[in-house]
Structure 1
Amino acid sequence: MYQYDLETMLSKIILPGLRDTFLMLGGSIVTCSVCGFILAIILITTDSRGLRPNRVIYETISAIINVLRSVPFIIVIIVIIPVTRFVVGTSIGVGPAIFSITVAGSPLIARLLEGCFKEIDARLIEAAKSFGASDWQITWHVIVNESIPSIISSMTLGIVSLLGYTAIAGTVGAGGLGAVALTYGYQNFDDTIMYSTVLVLIVIVQFIQIAGNALYRKLK
């Protein structure tokens, strides 16, 4: 077991891992939000009570989402390695990790947003129809706009889950705090590094939750 001094541990191990974690988290928030939003809009539109009911489309997308959500992320990231290599060019690093997290995280975000959209009072939608609003106007100005506070609350949970995905991705070559905890902490029998990374992750989660709650209260 090799013991690192405090300066080396922070500058050479913890901070680079933190940087990679933020890169993975930031990139996956963007990609998962975009993909999840698109999927949620399709689901809410093609639902049996949606603006354009289509059972085939709804059931197909819903089944794919359910399959991806039912498989643990550590298995997903390993199974799609050939696809990751084809798309990104490699399976190791921040870029491949963002791709893998997007595949696993987008279904989660889609379900969270779909739940937010379903909370909208059907009478608001009927009122918008009576005024001659188009499907696009109803979707954007009624369903999405009225769901914003709920979306913020759900996305806070989603972002915390994505942070957990970055830690798992680090165990299979993506870098970040997960890799630091495994390589320098667990495998090197260094409790200081391992528990330090746990503490950093706890602080990040608390910050995300506090910021999400504050934004929710302001928009509510």
Structure 2
Amino acid sequence: MGVTLPSAVIVRTLADTPIADLPALLVPALGETLAMVGIVMLVVVLAGTPTAVCLHNMAPGGLFENKAVYGVLSWIVNIGRSLPFLVLMAAIVPFTRFVTGTNIGIAAAVVPMSLAGIPFFARLVENCLREVPRSVTQAARASGGSPLQIIRSAQLGEAFPAILGGLTINTIAMIEYSAIAGTIGAGGIGYVAVTYGYQRFDQTVMIATVVLLIALVTAVQLLGDGLVRATTPHLRRR
């Protein structure tokens, strides 16, 4: 007497993608994810670092203390950090369409990802700058360094290993956001997971995308940890 399988199990089994076909599906998706995250992180670093420097040095005791401007800038950064990415992505669709001419694809994903990543990275870098001993800045001032020289050498230079750690955290967050951006047709691993894995009940694709995301995040974390060790004197000697 044969065993009758539930219809849902039969459909799912027939729909599962053969393992041999996964590379053709996942490799392009991985490339799209890396492109998205790479473009976003370039924007995040270029915009987030100056923002963090301004926050740190406009705060009480900073190089160019200005409580009013600091309060406004800090308030804007807090708003950017407060919105969940999915809500932000949906809320700025008209702005994204105005900037990129579309609300789908990699270009459309870069705008909300950048707006979410800049304030996050700015706060991370600001916290790193706060950890630099004030005596370092005072010594640079006493030696006649200009504000730009103090920021570059005494502040960013001393905080560089910690900033690399923050950059690692931010990059991993952007990988997660890129997966969410897949819901608007941005491409990448998230799009494959939603379109092929979830909507088509393809467990092979779903498991493969999860494993790929874990591997990607792990690789970024290991690379970031290695760079932090290489730039931290007392860790480099170990």
TM above 0.5, yes or no, is yes
- The CA RMSD over aligned residues, in Å, is 1.1
Q: Of 157, 161, 171, which residue of structure 2 is paired with 1:145?
A: 157
Instruction: Specify which of 187, 198, 218 is matched with residue 186 of structure 1.
Output: 198
Deviation at 1:8, TM superposition (A): 3.0
2:219 pairs with 199, 207, 212, which one?
207
**Per-residue deviation, 1:32:** 0.8
What CA distance in whole angstroms lies between the structure 2 residues aligned with 1:152 and 1:125?
Answer: 20
Q: Name the SS of the counterpart of 1:174 in structure 2.
A: coil
Q: Which amino acid letter does the alignment assign opposite residue 119 of structure 1? A: E
Q: Deviations over 1:1-60 (max 9, x none)?
A: 53323333321x212211111110111110111111111011012111110011121111
CA distance in 1, matches of 2:43, 2:141: 32
Aligned equivalents of 1:125 and 1:33: distance in 2? 23
Q: % of aligned pairs identical? A: 37
Q: Distance between the aligned counterparts of 2:205 and 2:49, measured in 1?
A: 37
Q: 1:72 aligns with which of 84, 93, 97?
A: 84
Partner residue in 2 for 1:5: 18
Match runs of 1:13-92 below 5 Å = 13-92=25-104
Superposed displacement of residue 165, structure 1: 0.7
2:120 to 108, 119, 132: 108
Query: 1-side partners of 2:67 and 2:184: how far apart?
Result: 38
Moved over 3 A (4+): none
Residue of structure 2 in register with 1:163 after alignment: 175
Across the two proteins, how many residue pairs are aligned to each other?
219
Matched residues in 1 for 2:19 and 2:136: separation?
Answer: 58
Contact 2:113/2:178 (<8 A) preserved? yes
**Contact 2:16/2:204 (8 A) holds in 1:** no
Q: Which runs of 5+ in 2 are unaligned?
A: 1-10, 233-238
Output the CA distance in 1 between the equivalents of 2:164 and 2:80.
Answer: 23
Secondary structure of residue in 1 paired with 2:185: helix
AA in 2 matched with 1:105? G
Question: How far apart, CA to CA, are the structure 1 residues paired with 2:17 and 2:84?
Answer: 34
CA distance in 2, matches of 1:96, 1:43: 29
C-alpha distance in 2 between matches for 1:59 and 1:37: 18
* TM-score of the pair, normalised by structure 2: 0.89
* Equivalent residue number for residue 133 of structure 1: 145
Instruction: Give the drift of 1:157.
Output: 0.9
In structure 1, distance between residues paired with 2:135 and 2:28: 52
Q: Deviations over 1:166-186 (max 9, x none)?
A: 111111221111111111001
Matched residues in 1 for 2:193 and 2:95: separation? 27
CA distance in 2, matches of 1:6, 1:195: 11
